[in-house]
Structure 1
Amino acid sequence: MSEAAKKTDLTDQIEIPGPPDIIETLSRSMADLNTIGKMIAEQEELASEVVNTINAPCFNLVRKIANIEEAVRFLGQDRIVRLATGRSLRGAFFNSNQSFPEEIWNVANRVAVASVLIAKELKLAETDSAYELGLFHNIGMALIYNHTTRYRNIVKAAYRHESGAIGAFEKHHLGISHAELSGQLAERWHLDATAVEVIRYHHSIPWINNAFQTSDDDDKLKLVAMLKLAERIAHSSGFIAQAPTNHEWEKLAPVIMNYLGLNDMQLERLKRNVLEGMKDES
């Protein structure tokens, strides 16, 4: 029996950690902007990461932000909290020297940047919401890997399977999928309900197809379309599983492209633009 074929039931074994104290405080704070800026500034590493993120080329602000206090005044509480929440993931889950968790984080960054660029070009979401969604969508991979290092082989097999049913493949072998865990963590870390739902089901082909056929929640559909496009353009399947073909995208492309009104030529143009923008982030 191959490593990927062995079954492990992690359904009740993985505890969902809460957010760092600063994120818990910020999510509930009614303080004024100056106070919020000072609260984040006390977390020097996080403050630096947030300012560097805001100044990244993909956000394309009209001017460079000098410090976190200025960032809060410029962007407002909600946007800053979303960026701080996303950037907090690295310190919470990716402090080891192991290669696979680092790959997970690097892919999340790629998808986050691609999401921002797609959101701007197609007017699908606010850039900070797009960035947060991209960073959170695969965090469940790190949770699973912390419980079984076999997960690396399992997730590679899931992405390579011709069915494209990544979530179903993981549930068959582990009793849980990384998307479900990512959604649970996103909810505990106070992401809004729409983002949580999209993250939870982003590898469920039946749920996505049904959403585009029956849902009138345009905000949700835009986030789904944006995230799946970002995964496709950022080549998640290649970086995570060295899979040359994104079988999941092949199953979802018709309904997503129809919703966005994109043809093959327009998709290729979007891909070129996004990949060009991602070069500026390196």
Structure 2
Amino acid sequence: MPLVDHADLLAAAESVEPLPHTVARLATLVADPDSDIREITETVSLDVSLTADLLRRANSAALGHRSTITSVRDAVVRLGPSTLLSLTLASRIGGRMLQALPAYGLRPGALWERAVAASIAAEVIRSRARVQVPAEVSTAALLHDFGKVVLAQHFGKQILDSLALAAETDGTDVTETERVVFGVTHADIGGTVAEAWGLPLTIVDGIRDHHEVHEDLSAVSAAVGLACAMSYEITAPEDDPEEPESHATRRKVAPLLRILRLDPDEYHRIVATSRERYDELAERYAG
């Protein structure tokens, strides 16, 4: 029997501060293959804060362009809809993911670093998978571990320490221990938050199912799960010991590769490409 009130925890997830309406609308448009750049441009233009942020990012030296972008439409074209959505969400929720999470072995900033790494990996996976993977996969990957933030905010240090100790004592991965202690996992909580935010079902399922492995898994869920596994390798120094959670995640890689019709030897090539892009991004934004 779970040690906490299941309904109370889900209520906490649903009460997370909502996203601005324009962000949810933008997510819906990116997930709709029939939407066009005009609709996306109009949605962004209605939000003054989002417009200013978009133009700033589109003109960032980190993008390696010299010409100045002055219109929302040109900014959308330069960034691309999926990158635009990820950047928009990052500006709204990134700060919440900077805290340390000792129960998960995460120092301050590590959760956000892995979120960015997973988002980058998801985009590379999408470009190489031999099945159609929707554009919103990078956003689902960016948010895949947000449920950990909710758990950390909802529970005191004592319960979270008990979670880490239980996982270590039982020799199980933290996700399974969450199921026993809380009755749900951080993936379930993250999916509930995304649903409460009004994000598309593909993103909700991608977050909720990123630790699942079965034949009916969607391409988004498989890609997010694979990106999650890769995020450990992308962000960790090569001489760091492998963490228990990353080891458990890696065991699920082969079935995910099959769902996406990727050859096993492509795993390390995707990791290498993603790490290069991640390191380049980190270097350009350093300081």
Task: Report the Cα offset of residue 23 of structure 1.
Answer: 2.5
Q: Which whole-Å CA distance do the structure 1 matches of 2:121 and 2:163 have between them?
A: 22
Identity %: 18
Q: Is the 8 A contact 1:124 1:223 kept in 2?
A: no
Report the TM-score, using the length of structure 2 for normalisation: 0.68
> How has the CA–CA distance of structure 1 residues 38 and 66 changed in structure 2, closer, same or farther, with 3 Å as cutoff?
same
Please name the residue that 1:167 is paired with. 175
What amino acid is aligned across from residue 12 of structure 1 in structure 2? D
| Pairing 1:89–2:69 present | no
Select the residue among 129, 134, 159 that pairs with 1:122: 129
Give the alignment of 1:75-154 within 5 angstroms.
80-81=84-85, 83-91=87-95, 93-94=96-97, 98-100=99-101, 102-122=109-129, 128-150=135-157, 153=161
Partner of 1:224: 221
Residue 266 (structure 1) aligns with: 266
Summarize the Cα distance change of 1:72–1:271 in structure 2 as closer, same or farther, 3 Å threshold: closer
Q: SS where residue 196 of structure 1 aligns? A: helix
Task: Name the amino acid aligned to 2:113.
Answer: N
* CA distance, structure 2, for counterparts of residue 39 and residue 87 of structure 1: 17
TM-score normalized with structure 1 length = 0.69
Q: Deviation at 1:235?
A: 0.8
The 1-side partners of 2:27 and 2:100 are apart by: 32
Change (3 A) 1:159 1:124: farther
Question: Match of 1:3?
Answer: none
Count of aligned positions: 257
- Please tell me the root mean square deviation across aligned C-alpha atoms, in Å: 4.2
Query: Displacement of 1:176 after TM fit?
Result: 2.7
Q: Deviations over 1:140-177 (max 9, x none)?
A: 1111111124365466568766544x433102112332
Cα shift readout 1:18-56 (whole Å, capped 9, x = no counterpart): 213543565689995554343334346743675379965
2:8 to 6, 12, 15: 12
In 1, the alpha carbon distance for the partners of 2:219 and 2:166 equals 25
Query: Residue 48 of structure 1 contacts residue 68 of structure 1 at CA under 8 Å; is this kept in 2?
Result: yes
Query: Unpaired segments of 5 or more residues in structure 2?
Result: 30-34, 102-107, 283-287
Q: Structure 1 unaligned runs (5+)?
A: 1-5
Using a 3 Å threshold, how does the CA distance of structure 1 residues 103 and 159 change in structure 2: closer, same or farther? farther
Q: Which residue of 1 aligns with 2:69?
A: 66
Match of 1:253 in 2: 253
